[in-house]
Structure 1
Amino acid sequence: MIITLCALNILFCQRYSAGYGYKKSEDPIITVFKSVIFNGRKGDWERVALDIDTISDRIDDVKNIFDVNLRPALNAGLCQHNFQEVIKVMANLVFLAMKEKFYWNISEGLRIFMKAKVRLRLADEYYTLLLSGNVRRYDRLNGTKFHDDIFNKFAEAGNALGSIGFLGAGAVSPKLNDFEIATKEIEQKLLIVFPYFQSGEEITY
């Protein structure tokens, strides 16, 4: 079940990733996702709707960048008190939020190392805390190794960022093409595991 696996993954994953001033697991995408699961299970749909409303800007962001409007499906799930549907749409938002981080890094050509690193770490945290449980389940059922592949691709994307070195010494230039390839493979693997995800229009950078 999507709900069970997502919930367990959120509760037990301890992997750290900091950025944008948020401490571990404090990013609004993560905190709202956890709250939606907790309050949705209790049937507190008013609280679920209020929580989701706090990330309206994030829903608008992915719509503006990828031309994916999650609101109709999300509103339908809320009106029908359809827990499973709401979680599926929220998971889609997580995927698009990851993709958004990749998008901005590529748009900037990885020129701002610290920004690029923070974005990648947040995307990694979104995956680890919110989506990886379902990927592991898919692997068990299908004999695949998508989780390991995605883990390795995040590592490759991190290496592609290069390094600022120490006081300029030992600096390594970023490899934009390698970053694009690694992150695109992450997206493609996730779209296989979650075939109902809307991924939006292909962006030409």
Structure 2
Amino acid sequence: MSEKDSQRHRQRRRRIIAFLLLFLFIILLVILIIFLALRPSKPAFVLQDVTVYAFNATVPNFLTSSLLVTICSRNPNDNIGVYYNRLEVYATHHSQQITHRTSLPPSYQGHNEVIIWSPLVYGTDVPVAPFIFSGLVQDQYRGNIFVTIKIDGRVRWKVGPFVSSRYHLYVRCRAFINVGTQRTGITVGDNAVKYQLDQRCDVSV
């Protein structure tokens, strides 16, 4: 191949690369414009109820708990779907995790669609900081339990055939449960009481 032919070949290759880069830039720009124009709204979460099977702070600085929670998620977007990935649910008390993490199955939520999950979050003899444990004992004695149900995970937005990159999802559902003699729950089995809450959750994406 002559030097002139080699130069033409390099120029042709540069044009092809430049064209591909320009085409890719235009596609990404169109996706970005569509995404910004649609303005995706974050999903709305509601903690519908909590069934308490166990909540015992009897051993010094250890807690055993078992809670069945019902969580409802609604996609408020008319033209954007939501992919949920690696969602994990657990309970905390005064910012300390008191149960193991329970994984939710990956799922897709269409436009204005509702998904309901009912995971069991539990922990056996979970170590609790002494100052938190003393508060738990007092709460049990008074018949009031305050826990926060948390969901950590990742979401992706779907606009037509395009799917966005992953975003972190943080959900915080506060639950105040009266378990004393004046409890407001309904007995659903041996030592199991269901509490209807319908508590809106804080959602960050």
Higher helix share: 1
TM-score (norm 1): 0.25
Of the two, which has the highest radius of gyration?
2
Higher strand share: 2
TM-score (norm 2): 0.25
